[in-house]
Structure 1
Amino acid sequence: MGYKVVVVGATGNVGKEMLNILAEREFPVDEIAALASRKSLGTEVSFGDRTLKTQDLDTFDFTGWDIALFAIGSDATKVYAPKAASQGCVVIDNSSLYRYDPEIPLIVPEVNADDVVRYTNKMIIANPNCSTAQMVVALKPLHDRAKIKRVVVSTYQSVSGTGKEAMDELWNQTKGMYVPGQEVAPKVYPKQIAFNVIPHIDVFLDSGETKEEWKMVAETKKILDPSIKVTATCVRVPVFVGHSEAVNIEFEEFLDWEEATEILREAPGVLVVDKREAGGYITPVECVGEYATYISRIRQDSTIENGLNLWCVSDNLRKGAALNAVQIAEVLGQRCLKKG
């Protein structure tokens, strides 16, 4: 006995990862459908040892299906998510469309799984931004111990967060650097991404921050605690997969780095690798394909009374998107939905 599950956007990077993770984690699936736009209709995708042909999202009837994992942009989600929800299928949405709706729960299961019961408000659950998801997994157990006042975070985000075209642009620009006359001009990004970093993710707001930076602030407050002050600088780096973050945390009371390390070692979804020696930390290439949020470089911040610094790395296509969505589905199944 299991659930009838739909993956919407099954031919994209995140949709493919959703199918992979559903199979890897042996999610109880009775029936599964892979949906895509008409231009991708009939494309084959893998689900474990099975091959699925994509069906047409535009004509699909969600009636009788239990859970729909959405991995399409906000514009398409705005059309199809309400349709699925109105037909009785719970939507777990990876776009930014519903994250800031007070009626819709924004869930990271290691942090606020209890909020999943609020799915009944609109039959929709929102998946957070990739950079927020990994950070709050690390912050939650520390916040429970010493209450966080303020977070200053700088992100180093991989190009896969922008999609396949961005990954292709990094690859082609990198190759073009070595072949005279084969240079590739930037199209996806406003400046060259190969051998460069770009302090600009999403659009600029009137405040001078980018929307990505604003998202990290708003989502951390909604998921973890509205009283936490957050400021972010989000940077795109020439890495294919894996987001990294340098996080500075100020607490209301003193928390020793050794105690913080032990707390994080016991925290769900976290793996501490921190040897304080050359190579004794995790980098993005080492987190690819993994479930964990990796924490390294845990140390006291001597410039403030109650401060810590840490380094946080995770596979953005997994914990930052597909894995978190599947974990939400697992919690939803365990706590709210009946099988079969």
Structure 2
Amino acid sequence: MSYSVAVVGATGNVGREMLNILAEREFPASEVHAIASRRSLGVEVSFGDRTLKCQDLEQFDFSKVDFCLMSAGSAVSKDWSPRIGKAGAIVIDNSSCWRYDPDVPLIVPEVNADAVAGYTKKNIIANPNCSTAQMVVALKPLHEAAGIKRVVVSTYQSVSGAGKDAMDELFEQTRAIFVNDPKEPKKFTKQIAFNVIPHIDVFMKDGSTKEEWKMVAETHKILDPKIELTATCVRVPVFVGHSESINIEFERPITPEEARDILREAPGLMVVDKHEDGGYVTPVECVGDYATFVSRIRTDTTVEHGLNLWCVSDNLRKGAALNTIQIAETIINRGLLNKAA
């Protein structure tokens, strides 16, 4: 069987990555439509060895589509996802718009694939926040083995998570500093070049940022509501690839050796954990890869059953585009979509 796919937001970082991954994974698509706003009508984007011209979101007929991969932001998704779902397409949304709706499954296929069947309530499935996605892939097999009580995570998030304008700002600021012509920040609250900013998304009443709140709420929905989690989310001057330092307290004993063996067998993970110079993965090395990488697995001696680990992933892939396409593949593989082109 083959399926018709629309990518909404096809000119953005994640939309372009969705098209790349659809081609790389040879997704069984009879048709792929690049969709964007009217101002991008006719803009060309790559799909494998083909070039697609963007079509206008407001004029496109979604009744002929099986999957709509949505990466156009919360405002567009709030307006369009219900309409597209009612037209018959399954919407897999990359924004935060639907993540906390009880009638919309929030899915990471390696973690909670069974929940995908709940999409029929609204014909919408939500993709989690990029920082949450890679973390729960690493936590899931450890939770099954020893029961996670508490997680303390600090993130080191690349600028691509804030879009193309953010990547441009890092590039332009870096160049400007070298020629002694500093530029004022526009996308970020402070200079991002040669700096780190402990602030992602808006501040909330308790002093946390919404990005930090997202990691808590989404981990509870995807993995286990009983896990206590606290996060500090930091933007760093890296173009692509999110990193996380994760401290985990377990209910039962688990050694670093046991954890390595468990993680090596888990889907979606690669363990690179040599206790030597360079025996770990950095964000530069994960770019373009499907896997979530785990390194620096070691005992935390300050709690009864504790581990520390380092987790790195390409945020445009597993944190967004790849996860979206894996959700579509899960629906197909489980026979949950009857309509085929």
| % identical equivalent positions | 70
- Structure 1 segments, 4+ long, off by >6 Å, are none
Cα distance, 1:183 vs structure 2 = 1.2
What's the counterpart of residue 231 of structure 1? 230
Aligned counterparts, 1:118-157, within 5 A: 118-157=118-157
Secondary structure of 1:63's match? helix
Secondary structure of 1:337's match? coil
Cα distance, 1:64 vs structure 2 = 2.4
Cα distance, 1:333 vs structure 2 = 1.2
Secondary structure of 1:58's match? coil
Cα distance, 1:214 vs structure 2 = 0.1
Deviation string, structure 1 residues 235-278 (Cα, Å, up to 9, x no partner): 00000000000000000011011000000000000000000101
Cα distance, 1:200 vs structure 2 = 0.1
Q: Tell me, which stretches of 5 or more residues in structure 2 are unaligned? A: none
What's the counterpart of residue 32 of structure 2? 32
Aligned counterparts, 1:111-122, within 5 A: 111-122=111-122
Secondary structure of 1:59's match? coil
Give the whole-Å Cα distance in 2 for the aligned partners of 1:114 and 1:30.
Answer: 26
2:63 is aligned with 1:60: no
2:234 is aligned with 1:259: no
What's the counterpart of residue 83 of structure 1? 83
What's the counterpart of residue 201 of structure 1? 200
Give the whole-Å Cα distance in 2 for the aligned partners of 1:116 and 1:73.
Answer: 22
Give the whole-Å Cα distance in 2 for the aligned partners of 1:184 and 1:161.
Answer: 21
What's the counterpart of residue 308 of structure 1? 307
Give the whole-Å Cα distance in 2 for the aligned partners of 1:154 and 1:183.
Answer: 29
Letter in 2 for 1:27: F
Deviation string, structure 1 residues 7-65 (Cα, Å, up to 9, x no partner): 00000000000000000000000111110001111000111111100000011111121
Cα distance, 1:79 vs structure 2 = 1.1
Letter in 1 for 2:268: G
Give the whole-Å Cα distance in 2 for the aligned partners of 1:254 and 1:216.
Answer: 25
Q: Tell me, which stretches of 5 or more residues in structure 1 are unaligned? A: none
What's the counterpart of residue 318 of structure 2? 319
* Cα root mean square deviation, aligned: 0.6
Letter in 2 for 1:144: E
Letter in 1 for 2:122: K
Counting matched residue pairs gives 339
Cα distance, 1:337 vs structure 2 = 1.3
Give the whole-Å Cα distance in 2 for the aligned partners of 1:74 and 1:177.
Answer: 34
Give the whole-Å Cα distance in 1 for the aligned partners of 2:66 and 2:22.
Answer: 14
What's the counterpart of residue 274 of structure 1? 273
What's the counterpart of residue 247 of structure 1? 246
What's the counterpart of residue 110 of structure 1? 110
Give the whole-Å Cα distance in 1 for the aligned partners of 2:188 and 2:32.
Answer: 36
Q: Normalization by structure 1: what TM-score?
A: 0.99
Secondary structure of 2:128's match? coil
